[in-house]
Structure 1
Amino acid sequence: MTSGPCLLDDLLVSDDFLREILLRVSDLRTLTYSCPLVSKRWLSLTVDPKFWLEKCEYDDVALPPVHLRKEHAFDYKRILVKRPYNRNLIRNPSGEEELNFWKIMKRDGSGWTIESPPVYCDGRDFLRARATSLLNKVQRVKEQRIDLIAIGVEALVLDEVKPKIIVSERVSAREDRGYEYQLSAALGVVDEDGLISDVDEREETVEKPQWSAGQWQKVEIVFSDYPKGTREVVLRSGGKDSLFWYGHSGPRMTEASIMVVFD
């Protein structure tokens, strides 16, 4: 008996068998870059759009509904690699990487801090959060913008299919503090000159008096019928302590999210 690596002669196996092998390759870089170089036969299998659809289904990647797949030719390989649907597109949603990937629009008072776990909040489900300072009088103080095309959503999907775009965040505060919180969302729409402007900006505000906080509340904004040319989404949020106590006494924010979701 010999040991060590062995070479599978793909001439001895059927296309269906070889396809089943390739569907089970877990490393996407190997599957997309290395496997097509093995032989012309491997290349022919991996350039077939049907293969990438099957791979998405095998890996349980969120896809457009079946009836839409019959009407549109989606780039299933790109969907597999980017996975743009039914998942949170925000980077660093709860402060796992401090304030990386976030644009801080206003720095005042004591600024921002990361609490792990959030102080005097219900921490059973949310173990990390950003906390604001007492002097954050401007509500929209942190921002993250998502380029939907770069993240893998096709322009055809945004212009013709228009899945829901859901922007949300969880908010709470110390049990002994009141707070004011605001979530804002806007769509970036491209014009004939290729310039993107924010349109359809929406806001949701939450105010809680002292001794009524401590529990987490999900604040959500949903876009469903948006203009053709939508290419970006921006989430802005912030708040302040209603009593103006010293330190990071404002609302705690966690699980910031932007999702593109099919019904």
Structure 2
Amino acid sequence: MISIEDLPEHILVDVLTRIPAEDLILNCRLVCSRWRDLVDWPVLWKRRLRRHGRDLSAWGSDLYYIFCHLEKNLLKNPCGEEGFDFWEILETKEGQWKIEDLPKADSEKFRGTDFLQRNYYVKDRPQQDIKKCFTACNGFCYKSQLITLKDHGYWDELLDGTGSTIVVKDWFYYRPGCRYRLYVGLLAADFTVLQEYRSEDLYGRDWERNGSWQWRKVTHTFYSCPRVRHIFFQHEAQQADEERGGEGGLRITHSSITLGPFSLEESDSSSESSLVSSECSCRR
């Protein structure tokens, strides 16, 4: 006898789109792994949107569920575990990017600073240790990624009708003579700039005078981002203090971009905080 389990996938998806969202999440998703995967599939929710209307303001908890299951770090290879894969590298004549091992003590300090906003306490997954970092040595060098949101499951109506927020985070560690800047641009389908953020031009010697060698976090939140289709993310770094004999450079790791219906960050759209490094005492 034929059962609902024998239905082709496209027909089963069509059936599931007709079920109230609460039943989908609390009941249908628990039937089996196949149904769970279909309920979590963005295509199913896109079809529900077309079937039940495009006014996303009435979707409420449905939107929260969608964003939670889509949420991830949109930046690939944020810590250098895969070398320079996925990054567009631009080095000047003197500048050079390197991959370095992160000191174990520093790696342990990063635990609990996960990029996930909403899923961190509910997702059953081991926390990934950060073991690598990018290091900018000598002159100016740049590193960038271009993110296309539809490649990560975000469709146009979801982006335009929800007042979504985009949260950017970056961690960097100064050494003497270093310089750091971050640029993030939200781009439309034709790559025109809709919104942008430029961090302050930060110098390592400012903290050296204050005796405050630490890992620093820069964060920025973009609120209400209709028409955004791409995100451009770029570091600018320099290690130019020749009198130090070329010792080290500016470290960058744990960069992230996440997209959600709201932000759990501080009320300010931009902020800077610190994480004490294991090297603070010996770098003063």
Structure number with the higher helix fraction is 2
Larger radius of gyration: 1
Tell me the SS of whatever aligns to 1:150. Answer: helix
Listed as ranges, the matches of 1:54-69 within 5 Å are 54=25, 55=29
Alignment root-mean-square deviation, CA: 4.0
The C-alpha deviation readout for 1:116-137, integer Å capped at 9, x for no partner, is 1259x8343343110001211x
The C-alpha deviation readout for 1:186-214, integer Å capped at 9, x for no partner, is 01113xxxx22234221113323237464
- 1:132–1:220 Cα change, 3 Å: same
Give the alignment's TM-score, normalised by structure 1: 0.66
- Structure 1 residue 158: deviation in Å? 1.6
Contact 1:144 1:236 in 2 (8 A): yes
Structure 2, unpaired ranges of 5+: 46-54, 111-129, 263-284
Q: Distance in 2 between matches of 1:84 and 1:153?
A: 8
Listed as ranges, the matches of 1:89-168 within 5 Å are 89-118=74-103, 122-124=106-108, 125=110, 126-136=130-140, 141-168=142-169
Q: 1:207 aligns with which of 203, 207, 227?
A: 203
Contact 1:178 1:242 in 2 (8 A): yes
Structure 1, unpaired ranges of 5+: 1-8, 16-37
Q: Distance in 2 between matches of 1:230 and 1:10?
A: 45
Q: 1:71 aligns with which of 59, 65, 72?
A: 59
Query: Bigger shift: 142-151 or 212-221?
Result: 212-221
Q: 2:228 aligns with which of 227, 230, 241?
A: 230
- Structure 1 residue 43: deviation in Å? 6.3
Query: Percent same amino acid among aligned pairs?
Result: 23
Q: Distance in 1 between matches of 2:221 and 2:74?
A: 15
Tell me the SS of whatever aligns to 1:156. Answer: helix
- Structure 1 residue 256: deviation in Å? 1.3
> What corresponds to 1:259 in structure 2?
258
- Structure 1 residue 167: deviation in Å? 1.6
Give the alignment's TM-score, normalised by structure 2: 0.61
Q: How many residues align structurally?
A: 213
The C-alpha deviation readout for 1:140-172, integer Å capped at 9, x for no partner, is x11001101121112112212121111221111
Q: Distance in 1 between matches of 2:248 and 2:179?
A: 11
